[in-house]
Amino acid sequence: MDSIIPGRPEPSRPPAKLFLRTWQALSLPMLLFFAVPVVLLFTRTGPLEWLDGFRQPQVYQAIAVSLKTSLVSLLITILAGTPVAYLMGRQQFRFKKLVDTLIDLPIVLPPSVAGVALLLTLGRRGVIGESLEALGIHIAFTSAAVVIAQVFISAPFYVRSASLGFGSIDSEIEQAAQLDGASHAQVFQYIMLPLARPAFLGGCMMSWARALGEFGATIIFAGNFPGRTQTMPIAIYLGFEVDLNIALTLSVILVAISFAAILLVKSIVPAEERYSS
C-alpha cells in the first residue's frame, strides 16, 4: 500500500456508487439483447393462440417425440457417461487432456457436422451402419437415430458436470472409508454418489435440456417424419413455412423448459462446481 505523504492531497477516486452505476450502464445493452427477444416471443402470442396451437396434431406429436426421445437419451447418458465422468474426475492417466478435449468436442462442433458424422458411421452406407443393415437393423431415419443424435450432442454436459462433482470430493474421505473395510463399490455407492449428487443432478438437467433442443444433427441423421422423428425444434423450423402459430407455441414451450432447467441447476449446484475446470 502506498504511503500518504503528509501535506500532499490524497488522489481523488470516483465514488463507489458512481463506479457501480457506470458498470451497470455498460452492462445494459447486452442484457437487453438477451431479454428483449425472449420477452417479445412471449408477448407476440397469448394463451388463446397457445391453446389453438396445442390443438394441432403436429404440435402434440412433436412434444411427445421430444419428451420420449430426450428421456431415453438422458438414461443412456447417465448409464454410459457416469463411468467416464468418474474416470475423468478421479483418475490421472496419459493423454487425459486429449480425452477431455474429445469429450468437449460435441459442445463446440456444429450440430450439422455431428449429423453428417453420425450418418457416415451408422447410416445405411456407413462404416458400421452397412453391417447392421445386412443384419436387418436399421438406425438412420428412425427414433433410435433421434436418441443417438441427442446423446452425442448432450452427453458432454452431463459428463463435464459429474466429473467436476467427483473431482471435488476429498480423497481422504475415500481412503478413510476403505480403511474401515468398505469395498470400492460401497465407497462409490454410499460416499461418492451422495457427495456428488448436486453436480450429478445439475448435469442431468443440462443434458436433458440440450437434448430437448437438439436440431441440426437430428434432422440430418434422423430426418423429419411426423410422429416418429419430428422433434419440437424441427417442427418449429417447418412451422415457419406452414403455420407460424405452431412455431411460436413450440418456441414458448422450449424457452420455458430451458429457463426452468437452468434456474433449477443454479439452485442445486454451487457456482464453483458449475464453472470450475
pLDDT recorded at residue 10:
56
pLDDT recorded at residue 9:
57
Q: What's the pTM?
A: 0.85
pLDDT recorded at residue 106:
94
- Whether residue 3 has pLDDT greater than 70: no
82-110 pLDDT, tens digit each? 999 999 998 898 999 999 999 999 999 99
218-243 pLDDT, tens digit each? 999 999 999 999 999 999 988 877 77
60-78 pLDDT, tens digit each? 899 999 999 999 999 999 9
Name the least confident of 4-13, 25-34, 197-206: 4-13
CB 86 within 8 A of CB 159: no
- Whether residue 272 has pLDDT greater than 60: no
pLDDT recorded at residue 185:
87
Q: Which is more confidently placed, 13 or 60?
A: 60
CB 115 within 8 A of CB 149: yes
pLDDT recorded at residue 149:
97
Q: What does the alpha-carbon distance between residue 214 and residue 150 come to, in Å, rounded to a whole number?
A: 6
* Cell numbers for 133: 443393415
Three-class SS of 21-84: HHHHHHHHHHHHHHHHHHHHHHHCCCHHHHHHHHCCHHHHHHHHHHHHHHHHHHHHHHHHHHHH
- Whether residue 45 has pLDDT greater than 80: no
pLDDT recorded at residue 191:
87
The percent of residues in the chain predicted with pLDDT above 70, rounded, is 92
Is residue 8 very low, low, confident or very high in pLDDT (cuts 50, 70, 90)?
Answer: low
**Is residue 178 exposed (0-12), middle (13-18) or buried (19+ Cβ within 10 Å)?**
middle
Average pLDDT, the chain: 87
